[in-house]
Each structure stands twice: as structure tokens, then as C-alpha cells.
Amino acid sequence: MTKPQQPPEPPGSLHPAAPEFSSRDPNAADFWDERFAQGFTPWDQAGVPAAFASFAARHTPVPVLIPGCGSAWEARWLAERGWPVRAIDFAPRAVERARAQMGPHAAAVEQADFFAYQPPVTSGWIYERAFLCALPLARRDDYARRMALLLHEGGWLAGFFFIAATEKGPPFAIERAELDALLAPSFELIEDEPVADSIEVFAGRERWLTWRRRAPSRSSRT
């Protein structure tokens, strides 16, 4: 019996076919440039998540760094409310889109590699949103070290963490035990909340976590 042919997906489908890409290395800017150029950004919420807005509303403005900012929706939201914010991405197309979206706050966006970037001021909050899960697994230790270096004692690494038992990606999920082992040496977990408004690619597998920077150890100061 012939299998019935499935109808084509309608415009605006939640499951559009992925375009063809030539770059397969998420550690390269070209990988992300291709996806922005073709409008394939399923990680982009095109708005500000509720947990993010709630966290910001509970705190006094501090300097914020947003690595892997993409379209930088949250950066604009913060800037419009008086938060000093720097949004960085190493993909030129992402920076172009972020600056266009930021409007009068476009100067807050920089093209930079997070692992070499030196912010103009010490960050009080580094916002995690689809950045850790975009990195190849081999860069996770670098991520933890860099976050600890860029935050002062008491500063927050706060945002959305994609938690699951899979190594396929991007997005690359991380198991909870691995995440805890990665960050606990330099950070204390102070908030752990479910996420009600996840976009499809992260639905049911992300948590809002707030990690507070511990006092640096004596060895890290030398």
C-alpha cells in the first residue's frame, strides 16, 4: 500500500524546513552568519521573557553583559530602563541585526569574542540566554572560567539554561549534574525556577537559574 503523501507545511509553520548551510562548525562566526542571513534563528524569542523581566524588576540596575546577544531584544529592554548594558556577538550578521533592533541604543552592541572581550566596566550581571548551549562542548570549561573572571564577588550569572541529556546540537543541552559541577567552584546557586514561556526549541528543558559569584579563592587572585 502506498503511503499517503503529507501536505506541505503551511506558511508560518512551527516546523519549517531548515535551509541548506555550508558551515557546520558552531565555533566559527560563518556558521551563525549563514543562519542569520537566511532568517533561520529558532532560538530567537523576538521579545523579552517573563523571568528575565521579573529578575530585572527585583534588582537595582548594575552593568550588564550579554554574550552571544543575537538580536539583543533584552539589551534594548534594559537600556530603555536605565540599565548600563553591553551586548556582544562574534557573528557580523548578528551584530548588524542587533544594532538595527536597538535603535537609539545601537552603540551598546559590539562585535567581539566573549573569550577575549574586556568590558569597559566590571559586570554586575552576565545574562545567559542561548549562549552556553551554542558553544561546542569542549568550550564549557572556558565558559565557566571566563564567567568567573568577568564577574566581581556577589555578581550574578543569571538566565536560562538548557538542561537535558543530549549531546546533539546546537543547541547543546547540558545535564544538571554537569552544570552544577561546572559552576559550583566559583558560583553559589541562589535561584532555580521553571520557565513557563519557553520557545519551542527549549520547551520543557530549560530553567531560570541565578548563580552568585563566590569570593575568589586565594589562588585565583595570584
139 pLDDT more than 60: yes
15 pLDDT more than 70: no
Instruction: With respect to residue 35, please indicate whether it lies within any of the assigned structural domains.
Output: no
The angle subtended at Cα 201 by Cα 198 and Cα 202, nearest 5°, is: 45
Instruction: With respect to residue 30, please indicate whether it lies within any of the assigned structural domains.
Output: no
Instruction: With respect to residue 27, please indicate whether it lies within any of the assigned structural domains.
Output: no
pLDDT, residue 14, reads: 41
Provide the pLDDT confidence category of residue 62 given band limits of 50, 70 and 90. Answer: very high
**CATH number of residue 69's parent domain:** 3.40.50.150
Instruction: With respect to residue 28, please indicate whether it lies within any of the assigned structural domains.
Output: no
pLDDT, residue 25, reads: 61
Instruction: With respect to residue 26, please indicate whether it lies within any of the assigned structural domains.
Output: no
Instruction: With respect to residue 147, please indicate whether it lies within any of the assigned structural domains.
Output: yes
Could you identify the residue written with the cell 552593568?
A: 63
pLDDT, residue 4, reads: 38
Enter the C-alpha cell of residue 23. Answer: 558551515
Helix (H, G, I), strand (E, B) or coil at 135: coil
Give residue 119's domain range: 44-221
Instruction: With respect to residue 33, please indicate whether it lies within any of the assigned structural domains.
Output: no
In this prediction the pTM is 0.85
**Interval 148-173: pLDDT, tens:** 999 999 999 999 999 998 767 789 99
Instruction: With respect to residue 20, please indicate whether it lies within any of the assigned structural domains.
Output: no
pLDDT, residue 10, reads: 38
Mark out the alpha helices in the chain (DSSP H runs). Answer: 29-37, 50-57, 73-80, 92-102, 140-150, 176-183, 218-221
41 pLDDT more than 70: no
Domain total in the chain: 1
Tell me if 19 sits within 8 A of 40, measured CB to CB.
Answer: yes
Higher pLDDT, 197 or 2: 197
pLDDT, residue 34, reads: 73
